[in-house]
Amino acid sequence: MIGLISATAAGTAARDRLAAAWPDRTRVYDGLVGEAVRAAFAECEQLVCFLATGATVRLLAPLLGDKAADPGVVCVDEGGRFAVSLVGGHGGGANELAREVGALLGAEPVVTTATDAVGLPGLDTLGFPYEGSVAVVSRALLDGEPVALEAEVPWPLPPLPTAPQGSYTIRLTDRAVAAGEREVLLRPPSLVVGVGASKGAPAEEVLGLVEEALREAGLSPKAVAELATVDAKSEEPGIVAAAERLGVPLVTYPAEELAAVAVPNPSDAPLAAVGTPSVAEAAALVRGGELLVPKRKSAARPAMATCAVVRRPGRGRLAVVGLGPGARDLLTPRATAELRRASVLVGLDQYVDQIRDLLRPGTRVLESGLGAEEERARTAVAEARKGHAVALIGSGDAGVYAMASPALAEASDDIDVVGVPGVTAALAAGAILGAPLGHDHVSISLSDLHTPWEVIERRVRAAAEADIVVTFYNPRSRGRDWQLPKALAILAGHREPATPVGVVRNASRPDESSRLTTLAALDPATVDMMTVVTVGNTATRDIAGRMVTPRGYRWQASQEGVQ
| Closest of 80, 126, 81, 90 to residue 111, by C-alpha | 90
- Give the list of residues 6+ apart from residue 93 with CB closer than 8 angstroms, or none: 45, 46, 72
pLDDT band at 321 (very low <50, low <70, confident <90, very high): very high
Helix count and strand count (H, E) for the chain: 19, 28
> Looking at residue 163, what is its pLDDT?
86
pLDDT digits (tens, 9 = 90+) for 508-518: 999 999 999 99
> Looking at residue 561, what is its pLDDT?
47
> Looking at residue 479, what is its pLDDT?
85
User: Torsion over CA of 511, 512, 515 and 520, rounded to 10 degrees?
Assistant: 90
State whether residue 530 is helix, strand or coil.
coil
Alpha carbon distance 387, 48 (integer Å): 38
Q: Does residue 274 have a pLDDT over 80?
A: yes
pLDDT band at 254 (very low <50, low <70, confident <90, very high): very high
Alpha helices in 224-372 (DSSP H): 237-246, 255-259, 268-274, 280-285, 333-341, 349-355
pLDDT digits (tens, 9 = 90+) for 70-107: 899 999 988 889 999 988 877 788 888 998 899 889 89
> Looking at residue 117, what is its pLDDT?
61
Higher pLDDT, 91 or 363: 363
Segment 430-459 mean pLDDT? 94
Segment 421-438 mean pLDDT? 96
Segment 51-64 mean pLDDT? 90
Domains and CATH numbers, the chain: 2-112 (3.40.50.11220), 130-186 (no CATH), 191-311 (3.30.420.180), 317-420 (3.40.1010.10), 426-553 (3.30.950.10)
| Closest of 198, 415, 458 to residue 317, by C-alpha | 415
Q: Does residue 399 have a pLDDT over 80?
A: yes
Residue 277: cis peptide before it, omega within 30 degrees of 0: no
Segment 40-60 mean pLDDT? 91
Question: How far is the CA of 222 from the CAs of 78, 91, 93, 185, in angstroms?
Answer: 44, 18, 21, 11
Q: Does residue 2 have a pLDDT over 90?
A: yes
pLDDT band at 560 (very low <50, low <70, confident <90, very high): low
Question: How far is the CA of 65 from the CAs of 70, 259, 294, in angstroms?
Answer: 6, 51, 44
Alpha carbon distance 225, 155 (integer Å): 13
Q: Write down the pTM of the prediction.
A: 0.76
Give phi and psi for 377, each to the nearest 5: -65, -45
pLDDT digits (tens, 9 = 90+) for 284-319: 999 999 999 999 999 888 999 999 999 998 889 999
Segment 135-156 mean pLDDT? 88
71 DSSP β-pair partners: none
Is the separation of the CB atoms in 121 and 138 below 8 Å?
no
pLDDT digits (tens, 9 = 90+) for 175-216: 999 998 999 999 999 999 999 999 999 999 999 999 999 999
Segment 334-343 mean pLDDT? 93
State whether residue 453 is helix, strand or coil.
helix
